[in-house]
Amino acid sequence: MTSSTFNPPGLALATALLLCPAVSLLPRSAKAEIEAPICRGTLLQLTLRESGESRTDRFRFNLRLDAKASTSAATLEQLRGRLARLREVLEPLVIGRLVIPAPKTYALDASQPSSGYRAAMTITGTVGRSNYDTLIERAGRLPGVRLQGMTSLPSAEGQDRLQGQLLVKALQRGRRQAERTASALGLRRVALLRIDQRSHSSARPSSMALSASTRFRPEEAPLPRASLSLALDYCLN
């Protein structure tokens, strides 16, 4: 009597693959796409930086609110009253919500003639161009309020447009520099192998004192800046 062994379909192929040395199952074309490009000539590495100013349509403000009285309780009560009045003035003008942290209260030096307690807090928010001067003027008339500065914020559209302009400018400058280098070496062909891009944007604060008699114009505020850094690899041959 002879015994028969059942071989499921594909078992022989699986066994062969397990016993074979490790091989790549990727086609040659796929492997070529994954590998970094190779320069068969002179490798030129450039680092470029471009910067510019972006349009702004919003401003972030910082207001310091102070109160002072003979007792801690009286100081906080005065601060609450001033805060309520400040809210009434600001809320119709701001974009979004106000950020109002808990106040800090501390005792003044007892040796000073005006000893007592002081409470303070910093209120932040965002205002549009149309309410820029109105906010400065109205807040400046309130007791205990001090504007610590306005910061220009870039518009999303303006920031995107500027980044695109900086990228084009950096690539064009890199190409010209690579072509000049190739010409100096007696080479003709220039090929871009790699781009490493880093972008950075920064808002620009503008400190100012509150004055109800002075008109502040949003177009005179410092514009937010953006910069772009590119690391470019060129192959010259």
Q: Tell me, what's the pLDDT at 15? A: 43
**Which conformational region is residue 81 in: left (phi greater than 0), alpha (psi within -120 to 50 degrees), or beta?**
alpha
Query: pLDDT by residue (tens digit) across 194-206?
Result: 999 887 665 554 4
* Structural domain range at position 178: 39-55+156-236
| CATH code for the domain in which residue 141 is found | 3.30.70
Percent of the chain with pLDDT over 70: 74
Q: How does DSSP assign 146-191, residue by residue? A: EEEEEEEEE-HHHHHHHHHHHHHHHHHHHHHHHHHHHHHTT---EE
Residue 131: pLDDT band (50, 70, 90) is very high
Q: Are residues 182 and 146 in the same domain?
A: no
125 lies in some domain: yes
Q: Which of 130, 154, 178 delimits the end of a domain?
A: 154
31 lies in some domain: no
CA-closest candidate to residue 207, choices 130, 154, 155, 146: 146
Q: Tell me, what's the pLDDT at 210? A: 42
Domain count, the chain: 2
Query: pLDDT by residue (tens digit) across 111-128?
Result: 666 678 999 999 999 999
Q: Tell me, what's the pLDDT at 35? A: 54
Structural tokens at position 89: 């003035």
| Sign of the Cα pseudo-torsion (130, 136, 141, 144, in order) | positive
Q: Are residues 174 and 160 in the same domain?
A: yes
Helices and strands in the chain: count of H runs, count of E runs = 5, 9
Rounded Cα gap, residues 161 and 52, in angstroms: 11
128 lies in some domain: yes
Helices (H), 41-155: 72-90, 132-140
1 lies in some domain: no
Q: Tell me, what's the pLDDT at 180? A: 95
Q: Tell me, what's the pLDDT at 162? A: 86
Q: What letters, b where the CB count within 10 A reaches 16 and e where it falls short, cover 120-159?
A: bbebebbbeeebbeebbbbbbebebbbbbebbbbbeeebb
Q: Are residues 98 and 139 in the same domain?
A: yes
Q: Are residues 95 and 109 in the same domain?
A: yes
Q: Quick one: which H or E segment has residue 13?
A: helix 11-19
126 lies in some domain: yes
Q: Are residues 144 and 204 in the same domain?
A: no
Q: Which of 120, 154, 188 delimits the end of a domain?
A: 154
Query: pLDDT by residue (tens digit) across 59-105?
Result: 999 999 999 998 999 999 999 999 999 999 999 999 999 999 999 99
Q: Tell me, what's the pLDDT at 158? A: 79
Mutual orientation of helices 132-140 and 72-90 as an angle, nearest 10°?
Answer: 150
* DSSP-derived secondary structure letter, 95: E
Q: Which of 154, 182, 206 delimits the end of a domain?
A: 154
Tell me the sheet residues that pair with 96: none
Q: Are residues 173 and 225 in the same domain?
A: yes
Query: pLDDT by residue (tens digit) across 213-228?
Result: 455 567 667 777 888 8
149 lies in some domain: yes
CB 235, CB 43: distance < 8 Å? yes
